[in-house]
Amino acid sequence: MTPRPTEPSAEAPAADATGTQKARRPLLASAPTPYLRLLTATQLAFNIGFYAVLPYLATHLGGGLGMAGWLVGLVLGLRTFSQQGLFVVGGALTDRYGPRPVVLAGCALRIAGFGWLAFAGSTATVIAAVLLIGFAAALFSPAVESEAAREAVRHERDTGEPRAHVLALFSAAGQAGAFLGPLLGSLLLLLGGGFRAACLAGSLVFAGVLAGHARLMPHADRVRDRAPEADRVRERAPEADRVRERAPEADRVRDRDRAPDAPARTGHPARPSWRAVFTNRAFLLLCLAYSSYLVAYNQLYLSLPVEVDRATGSQAALGWLFALSSLLVVAAQVPLTRWSARRIAPRTALVTGLAVVAAGFAAVPLTPGGPGGLLPGAALVVLLTLGQMLLVPAARGLVPDLVEDRQLGLATGALSSVSGLAVLGGSAATGALLEAPAPVRWAALAAVPLAGALLAFTLPAGRGGKEAGARAVAG
């Protein structure tokens, strides 16, 4: 976005009454663009609609439709696979056709999927509806996430505001939706509407999202036109001039870690280069490090329920621990990311976050039972959530530094797809540990994010950190 003439740049000095020059705070440093606000509101609405249904799906399948336990697990696994496993498809389509048609198609499919699920009564129709719901997310989520990352980079360039701030708002909005969605579903169930009412409410939320994006989301050519004038001049310059202009060390690091055959940025639409992304060593290392986090995070649904049941004799308190996790993110994500973005590099935030996650698993056998026996589980939730708040914005902020801009959608989808496949294998392996002695089980689980932290050490430091903090004035 080209700044208006009346707005001083981040580096523009201002004279005080004595003529002394002062560094002026960028006027846009804490004012995301309307498009960024749209994307953040989108993430909030997506999760409200989704989590109004998901927490009650297993009970509906088992109790309402009488499915066997193994079949309920299969249906839930298919939903996860059709979403995370196909993120790379949504990312590739975003790079090819732009975010607008992909987001609109995903919203339309989610509306149809929830409507179908509301009235599905057989195993075949339930599976079809669940697959449709998952594939819808595989379309719109990579489109929205890659646009958020792209806009965060532009906002950082225009204002000096570290990109992690924007991505933290994006993550916090998603967690707020994950907290409000189940409340909406619970309210509908208490009012006697049942699972069908929750599904229809989810459809209505996505209908609103579809209408809003059809009205407000820019077309692909308008998205490309938001490039600053300096970038448009550079795109018209010869390649030799562009190479000379990419002098900062951060750019040289990014170019060095890019795949050797990756084409230069041109700003023009092109088919995504799958080979350039999947032979990019630095990006694949990021995927593996991020996968270790997702394998660990999945233990909230696998190992934590077992721990709560062991400590209290039931899983009744599990919902309170999930609420604790969501509230922590809503309350602390933005200030924590603002602190980390100004003081440490993205790679350091990623490594630290993974180490904190590992500490959460190590703390379970070391924490005394306490009131109700929930302290070990609460320690795991708090530390895992704190680690998540550090590492997720950092990991997403590193992606634009490792791949070409025109491959950002594909790379964003690939990050989730590779991690989703890792979770499939990791869940089977960690599930086998449930019968192992507690010290062995929790030590093995702690080793997973620790291994990810070691991999993250080999990544480029990334933009932001102290250098970005020096450019941006604290709010």
The whole-number pLDDT of residue 266 equals 41
Under the banding of pLDDT at 50, 70 and 90, the label for residue 456 is very high
Do 388 and 326 contact (CB within 8 A), yes or no?
no
Using the predicted structure, report yes or no on whether residue 263 has a pLDDT greater than 70: no
Q: What are phi and psi of 13, to 5 degrees?
A: -80, 155
Using the predicted structure, report yes or no on whether residue 13 has a pLDDT greater than 50: no
The mean-pLDDT minimum among 214-223, 261-270, 427-436 falls in 261-270
- CA quadruple 123, 127, 133, 136: dihedral sign: negative
Q: Residue range 65-91: average pLDDT?
A: 74
Do 326 and 178 contact (CB within 8 A), yes or no?
yes
Q: Residue range 187-194: average pLDDT?
A: 78
Give one DSSP letter per residue of 200-249, joined into a string.
HHHHHHHHHHHHHHHHHSPPHHHHHTTS-HHHHHHHHS-HHHHHHH--SH
The whole-number pLDDT of residue 70 equals 61
Under the banding of pLDDT at 50, 70 and 90, the label for residue 304 is confident
The whole-number pLDDT of residue 69 equals 60
Using the predicted structure, report yes or no on whether residue 174 has a pLDDT greater than 50: yes
Q: pLDDT tens, 91-118?
A: 888 888 888 999 999 999 999 999 999 9
Q: pLDDT tens, 366-424?
A: 888 777 688 998 999 999 999 998 998 889 888 888 888 777 778 877 887 787 777 76
Q: Residue range 58-82: average pLDDT?
A: 71
Query: How many CA atoms lie less than 13 Å away from 251 in the CB half-sphere?
Result: 10
Under the banding of pLDDT at 50, 70 and 90, the label for residue 171 is confident
Mean pLDDT score of the chain: 75
Under the phi-then-psi rule, with left for phi > 0, alpha for psi from -120 to 50, and beta for the rest, what region is 34?
alpha
Of 429, 379, 363, 416, the C-alpha closest to 89 is 416
pTM to 2 decimal places: 0.61
Do 287 and 423 contact (CB within 8 A), yes or no?
no
Q: Between residues 149 and 286, which one has the greater pLDDT?
A: 286
What span, in angstroms and rounded, lies between the C-alpha atoms of 214 and 211?
5
Cβ-Cβ contacts under 8 Å for 424 (sequence gap 6 or more): 77, 81
Using the predicted structure, report yes or no on whether residue 17 has a pLDDT greater than 50: no
E strand spans, 111-209: none
Of the chain, the percentage scoring pLDDT greater than 90 comes to: 20
Q: Which range, 179-193, 221-235, 346-360, 401-415, is most confident?
A: 346-360
Q: pLDDT tens, 415-442?
A: 877 877 777 677 667 767 777 888 888 9
Using the predicted structure, report yes or no on whether residue 359 has a pLDDT greater than 80: yes
Query: How many CA atoms lie less than 13 Å away from 94 in the CB half-sphere?
Result: 34
Q: pLDDT tens, 195-204?
A: 888 889 889 9
Q: Residue range 206-232: average pLDDT?
A: 68
The mean-pLDDT minimum among 145-154, 195-204, 353-362 falls in 145-154
Do 414 and 285 contact (CB within 8 A), yes or no?
no
